[in-house]
Amino acid sequence: MMLVSAVLVVIFFCINGTPGLKYGIPFAVQCRSAFGSRGAVVPAVLRILPAIAWYGVGSWIGALSVNAVANTVFGLPNYTAIYFVLFTAVQTVISWYGIKSIKLFDASMSVVIFVLMAFFLFVIVRANGVALQGAWFGAGSWGLPFFTALTAAIGILATVMLNISDLTRYLKPANVRTNVWGHVLGVVPPWIFIFTMGVVTATVAGQGDPVAALMEVAPSVGIGIALLVFIVLAQVTTNLTINILPPTVVFQDIFNLTWKQGTILTGVLSVVTFPWVLLTSQWFFTFINFYSAFLGPILGIMISDYWITRRRSLSVEKLYASREDSYWFLRGFSPAAYVALVVASAISLVFLNVSWFVGLPIAFVLHAVLVRMGLDRIGERSAAEEAVGAGQAGGAS
């Protein structure tokens, strides 16, 4: 499953990240091509809602982990709420200075994180000796349970698949090789490493939480300090790129906020999502499948628009224009995109456990068919009628 999910993530990162790589446009602008100059607001909001929730969840998970280490190794009392506030504050300060600050922090700390993960894996294996045969090569299922688990795994990064152009627009040199290898090397090794850690810790300590497993098999001060560093860096780097940058950019585009204002708003909203309730709720994985029911169709529509309808050709100048017929459609909304989104999302909700896999192909095909049938040309006729009406009114006056 981990190999399949990693490959799928890389494929869709490359496909949907091409417009950002080629034209240097962010996700919020890329959406205008498929959904319309005004209609782009809806997919942008649908993308950032789970990001804001995951921002809060990530900060809360980090706070819980720090509290567990501090309590087990250093005997400190429960300060989870304080750690949560500190996590949110630190991430806000780092992102306050802009995308370059995020890029510099993530790039420099990723090496430290990888080294620490390798060290933890070594400590666990050395301390217990792991018989992975049963856990690693055990019988699995290729039926509905497999695709349900795959939907949950992909759902974690389903948000990033949409706004991957926010990242690919900064790749240099901007070519296919950079796009492919950047995602292959950036996604596959850590993805597989994390899953491997889960298998190993589950085999050794009977649980998939590396932090708890390490505290159980090697509860030393040195390991505790290393864990604290790892927890902070892992959560902060993840949140900065995946859960802070996208909402901030969208807030800039929709509400004309400054970067700093968007950063603060994102942090405040992440707290308002009450992550301590969401994470412990029995509906947590339902939450992932629910938003995937909308994000899958959005991705399918964006891919259909760029690769089928537009044939990989966009006008950056017109995308940024306040009103341009090429991306205006019907009162700023694309009928084809929204019909495809509503239909595919509705069907996805029926098959909630595999929502992403259902919604994406349905939306892709339906959007391509509706565009070919000329549904988006309703907007062109409407605009022409409005122009004629305005001309007649002017002549009469």
Q: Residue 290: what pLDDT?
A: 93
Q: Is residue 60 part of a domain?
A: yes
Q: Residue 81: what pLDDT?
A: 94
Please state, for a pLDDT cut of 90, what percent of the chain lies above it: 43
Does residue 379 carry a pLDDT above 70? no
Summarize pLDDT for 75-122 with one digit per residue, the tens: 889 999 999 999 999 999 999 988 788 878 877 887 888 888 788 777
At residue 108, φ and ψ (nearest 5 deg) are -75, -35
Q: What is the mean pLDDT of residues 136-164?
A: 75
What global pTM score does this model have?
0.85
At residue 208, φ and ψ (nearest 5 deg) are -90, 10
Q: Residue 191: what pLDDT?
A: 76
Confidence of residue 211 (pLDDT cuts 50, 70, 90): low
Q: What is the mean pLDDT of residues 234-253?
A: 88
Where b means 16+ CB within 10 Å and e means fewer, 152-173 reads: bbbbebbbbbbbbbbbbbebee
Confidence of residue 230 (pLDDT cuts 50, 70, 90): confident
Please state, for a pLDDT cut of 70, what percent of the chain lies above it: 85
Distances (CA, A) of 251 to 27, 172, 246, 247: 12, 26, 9, 6
Dist. CA 71–CA 79, nearest whole Å: 9
Q: Is residue 173 part of a domain?
A: yes
Confidence of residue 39 (pLDDT cuts 50, 70, 90): very high
Q: What is the mean pLDDT of residues 62-71?
A: 87
Q: Is residue 145 part of a domain?
A: yes
Q: What is the mean pLDDT of residues 133-152?
A: 66
Lowest-pLDDT range, 42-56, 218-232, 340-354? 218-232
The neighbouring-strand residues paired with 333 are 330
Does residue 36 carry a pLDDT above 90? yes
Q: Is residue 348 part of a domain?
A: no
Q: Is residue 339 part of a domain?
A: no
């942090």: which residue's tokens?
Answer: 267
Confidence of residue 204 (pLDDT cuts 50, 70, 90): low
Amino acid (1-letter code) at residue 161: M
**CATH of residue 161:** 1.10.4160.10
Does residue 382 carry a pLDDT above 60? no
Lowest-pLDDT range, 1-5, 67-71, 255-259, 275-279? 1-5
> What does pLDDT average to over the chain?
84
Q: Is residue 209 part of a domain?
A: yes
Nearest to 72 by CA among 201, 223, 229: 223
Domain assignment of residue 160, given as a range = 2-283
Confidence of residue 388 (pLDDT cuts 50, 70, 90): very low
How many domains in the chain? 1
Dist. CA 165–CA 163, nearest whole Å: 5
368 or 389: which leads in pLDDT: 368
Q: Residue 392: what pLDDT?
A: 47
Q: Residue 219: what pLDDT?
A: 65
Confidence of residue 22 (pLDDT cuts 50, 70, 90): very high
Dist. CA 84–CA 193, nearest whole Å: 26
